[in-house]
Structure 1
Amino acid sequence: MNSTAAAPLACIIIDDNEINRLTLERSVQRHDQLTLAASFPDAVEALAYFHAGGRAEVLLLDIEMPHLSGLELVKLLPDPKPAVILVTTHASFAVDAFELRVLDYLVKPVGYARFCQAIARVTEQYQAPAAPALPAAAGPASATLPTDISASGTDLFVKINGKLLRINFEDVLFIEALSTYVVLVTDKHKHVVGGTLKSIEERLPFRHFVRVHRSYIVNLHRVEAMADNLLKIGPHEVPVSRPYQEEFAQRLRAL
């Protein structure tokens, strides 16, 4: 783990299952970049905490709870919202989680290594430095990938629900990792694909897609602007993290 002397991030846990809640508490206490601010067995109680002025940088949130679900709670959280990591026994909520822009999605039982991976995404978000300005030449600009990717021009066939779907990758704004899934985001659709971002990055035949973050690959042709460390792509904002800034800038200049 990173030994940088950064202030620990305040973390809140919400889970109606006591065993799961205690397991998450132990994981938070073991992590040197987190401090446990509060732990609740009920989303309603947690919402009252936030409305009373309680704050946290990280929220570990169960989805299926009585009275108020985790997804419903996310919609009701006052600003500034914490980085939300959903924790659930069902992978079927992945698309709903993506719609709410949660940072990560963990499927129970959650191993400590996977927990640390999710927290690394949070710390990267909070510690990301400002990204370089765009070069002058740059202007506005539940599925699996089949093992035999077939591409033609800007099209790519992706297997979704047992069928091969033709996707025009000029329409793909960016690709985001979400737990054990990857989401292809277009202007009109979000296609959830099983697998890792690395495996998809290695198999994409299109040079205008570039990794800008451990969780994002963007379509350079669709980047409209950059401010600080965020790319504006349609209605979305995508972060650029330090390890990828130099390559990103070089690829922009080569357009």
Structure 2
Amino acid sequence: MNKSSILIVEDEPLIADDIAGILERNGYIVTAVVDEATTALEAVAEFKPDVVLLDINIEGETDGIDLAPKLKVPFIFLTSYYDQATLERARKVKPSGYIVKPFGESDLIANIEIATLRSSGKVITKSEPVKLFVRKDQEILSLNSDEIILAEAFDNYSIVHTVKDKYIISHTLKSVEEKLIPLGFIRIHRSYLINFQAIDSISEGMVFLKGHQVHIGKSYRKDFFDQLALL
């Protein structure tokens, strides 16, 4: 059973109790529950948690986003705010996850699994990046497989997305899948194939990857979360 330690920074007692219950049922150690910045920093120094679950709107003059860089441990935002201004502020402090309230138990656990996986330096076993070639206009361009964020079905074609560009591939997603699955990609929807290493967070049945968001298909959901649980 997972024994990672978690600090909860949340100013709503009922929500904090609910989060603590979820964590304890799933084998995590809740080091403390606090509601403002000063006690959060004291708890980090005392308990040295593996991950901090951090509400953005907390007690006191310092909010969660301003507090986050001072923690010096991986943190996941838990918030009711997802307006563009808040998202932009949050992005700059590089959270390990961003979960919008209300959230499901599986979303919370999946985000913690990803955060602890990254902080431990462990990764899902995959091959080294492979050089692929894609056509754009009249050119054939080289592209490393780890540059690909996701691939989506587009009629009998596929669209391959990178951080900076996208490419229309004259093959079905099934054909693209056969080449990318051995390279660390997973199918989470009948129309989407994603790069596991590009996942930023999981919330509300959605996977967020470098500016993209993809719905987790109902028939793929169990397999996807089972993979996370095995890490």
Query: Does residue 1:58 correspond to 2:18, yes or no?
Result: no
Deviation of 1:148 (Å): 9.1
Query: Does residue 1:44 correspond to 2:63, yes or no?
Result: no
Contact 1:98-1:178 within 8 A present in 2 as well? no
Structure that is richer in helix per residue: 2
Identify if the C-alpha distance between structure 1 residues 123 and 182 changes in structure 2 by more than 3 Å, giving closer, same or farther.
closer
Q: Secondary structure at the match of 1:86?
A: strand
Q: Secondary structure at the match of 1:64?
A: coil
Identify if the C-alpha distance between structure 1 residues 134 and 28 changes in structure 2 by more than 3 Å, giving closer, same or farther.
closer
User: In structure 1, which of residues 69, 90, 99 is the aligned counterpart of residue 63 of structure 2?
Assistant: 69
Q: What is the aligned partner in structure 2 of residue 91 from structure 1?
A: 82
Identify if the C-alpha distance between structure 1 residues 91 and 179 changes in structure 2 by more than 3 Å, giving closer, same or farther.
farther
Q: AA paired with 1:27? A: I
Q: AA paired with 1:179? A: I
Deviation of 1:136 (Å): 10
Q: What is the aligned partner in structure 2 of residue 195 from structure 1?
A: 214
Deviation of 1:87 (Å): 0.6
Q: What is the aligned partner in structure 1 of residue 165 from structure 2?
A: 168
Deviation of 1:183 (Å): 5.8
- C-alpha separation in 2, matches of 1:84 and 1:76: 11
Deviation of 1:115 (Å): 1.8
Identify if the C-alpha distance between structure 1 residues 182 and 95 changes in structure 2 by more than 3 Å, giving closer, same or farther.
farther
**Total equivalences in the alignment:** 171
User: In structure 1, which of residues 97, 105, 108 is the aligned counterpart of residue 101 of structure 2?
Assistant: 108
Give TM-score, length-normalised by structure 1.
Answer: 0.51
Q: AA paired with 1:38? A: A
Deviation of 1:114 (Å): 1.9
Contact 2:6-2:50 within 8 A present in 1 as well? yes
Q: Secondary structure at the match of 1:91?
A: coil
Deviation of 1:119 (Å): 2.5
Q: AA paired with 1:111? A: G
Q: Secondary structure at the match of 2:98?
A: strand
- C-alpha separation in 2, matches of 1:182 and 1:31: 21
Query: Does residue 1:124 correspond to 2:117, yes or no?
Result: yes
Identify if the C-alpha distance between structure 1 residues 49 and 95 changes in structure 2 by more than 3 Å, giving closer, same or farther.
same
Deviations 1:20-60 (A, max 9, x none): 1111111121111x10111102122112333x454110111
Segments of 5+ residues of structure 1 without an aligned counterpart are: 142-146, 157-166, 186-190, 200-213, 215-240, 244-255
Structure 1 residues 197-212: aligned runs within 5 Å: none
Deviations 1:144-179 (A, max 9, x none): xxx9969x9x997xxxxxxxxxx6338xxx954433
- C-alpha separation in 1, matches of 2:18 and 2:130: 50
Give TM-score, length-normalised by structure 2.
Answer: 0.56
Contact 1:94-1:105 within 8 A present in 2 as well? no
Percent sequence identity is 18
Contact 2:75-2:95 within 8 A present in 1 as well? yes
- C-alpha separation in 2, matches of 1:17 and 1:95: 24
- CA RMSD of superposed structures (Å): 4.3
Query: Does residue 1:178 correspond to 2:201, yes or no?
Result: yes
Q: AA paired with 2:78? A: V
Deviation of 1:77 (Å): 1.9
- C-alpha separation in 2, matches of 1:55 and 1:45: 13
Identify if the C-alpha distance between structure 1 residues 24 and 46 changes in structure 2 by more than 3 Å, giving closer, same or farther.
same
Segments of 5+ residues of structure 2 without an aligned counterpart are: 133-141, 145-151, 168-196, 218-223
- C-alpha separation in 2, matches of 1:13 and 1:184: 25
